[in-house]
């Protein structure tokens, strides 16, 4: 009731305006002969009025749909900005996870006597990426979906490899294989975690709302080598594996989005 009383002057003004406009239209119709013409051509006048009413309804619905679409887009962008504000942190956690998993595969390929342990997957970072997928544009969305899929595949492969490595007491390959040959043929998870690292690299600019980096100016094999070992001294050890991956992975799938 209070709200009705507060706005009663608007209702009075609306009623007054409607009466005035009705009077003006009536006088105009009478003076111009428009009312006489309507009386003489009732069917045609009714059709014209119906057509005008239908066109007005369509126009109103179109404007309403457009307005709703703009509102939904603003909401989507707002949610994306909120989730993307912590996406860089989530990608950093997932990058660290991928590096730890890759190191476990390298340890087994190097015939290290230490017992490998699968790293803990950062589930909070997974949830952040998953939330961004819901609101992101098509290209980043597709890349993040592929990233989450590869993380699941890599985690499963590494667990199986660790179980088999420990169970068989490291007798899985011929002794004359080099470490990077063992990584290539027996520890398939290593390939998956290199792919994960490349995908994370391609998402950094999106996470920071920056223009895409031109990775084509950098050798693809060099990017892979830096993932396998960030120190120059380790490149020769995994050089064969890096070359193998650069020949079998499509660089276009790992450019910045």
Sign (positive or negative) of CA dihedral 14, 16, 18, 24: negative
CA contacts within 13 A on the Cβ side of 110: 14
Q: What is the mean pLDDT of the chain?
A: 77
Select from 230, 229, 223 the least CA-distant residue to 249. Answer: 223
Domain locations in the chain?
A: 2-76, 86-254
**Residue of higher predicted confidence among 20 and 107:** 107
Q: Dig out the tokens for 29 from the structure.
A: 């119709």
Q: What is the pLDDT of residue 59?
A: 72
Other beta carbons within 10 angstroms of residue 237's beta carbon come to 18
pTM attached to this predicted model: 0.69
Select from 200, 191, 231 the least CA-distant residue to 105. Answer: 191
Q: Is 111:55 a contact under the CB 8 Å cutoff? A: no
Q: What is the pLDDT of residue 91?
A: 95
- In the chain, which ranges are continuous DSSP H helix? 2-6, 8-32, 34-40, 42-84, 87-109, 123-135, 138-167, 179-185, 189-207, 220-228, 239-248
């Amino acid at each position: 009731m209070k709200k009705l009383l507060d706005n009663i002057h608007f209702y009075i003004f609306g009623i007054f305006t409607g009466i005035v406009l009705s009077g003006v239209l009536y006088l105009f119709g009478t003076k111009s002969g428009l009312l006489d013409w309507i009386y003489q051509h009732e069917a045609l006048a009714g059709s014209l009025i119906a057509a005008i009413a239908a066109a007005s309804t369509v126009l109103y619905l179109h404007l309403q749909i457009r307005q709703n679409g703009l509102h939904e887009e603003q909401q989507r962008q707002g949610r994306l900005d909120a989730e993307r504000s912590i996406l860089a942190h989530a990608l950093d956690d997932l990058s660290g996870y991928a590096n730890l998993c890759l190191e476990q595969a390298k340890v087994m390929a190097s015939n290290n006597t230490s017992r490998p342990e699968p790293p803990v997957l950062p589930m909070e970072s997974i949830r952040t990426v998953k939330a961004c997928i819901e609101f992101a544009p098509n290209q980043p969305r597709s890349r993040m979906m592929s990233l989450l899929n590869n993380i699941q595949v890599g985690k499963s492969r590494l667990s199986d490899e660790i179980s088999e490595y420990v169970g068989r007491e490291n007798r899985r390959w011929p002794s004359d294989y080099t470490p990077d040959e063992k990584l290539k043929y027996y520890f398939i998870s290593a390939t998956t975690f290199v792919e994960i690292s490349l995908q994370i690299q391609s998402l950094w600019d999106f996470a920071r709302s920056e223009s895409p980096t031109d990775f084509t100016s950098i050798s693809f094999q060099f990017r892979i080598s830096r993932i396998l070992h960030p120190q120059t001294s380790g490149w020769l050890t995994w050089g064969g594996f890096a070359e193998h991956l650069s020949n079998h992975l499509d660089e276009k799938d790992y450019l910045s989005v």
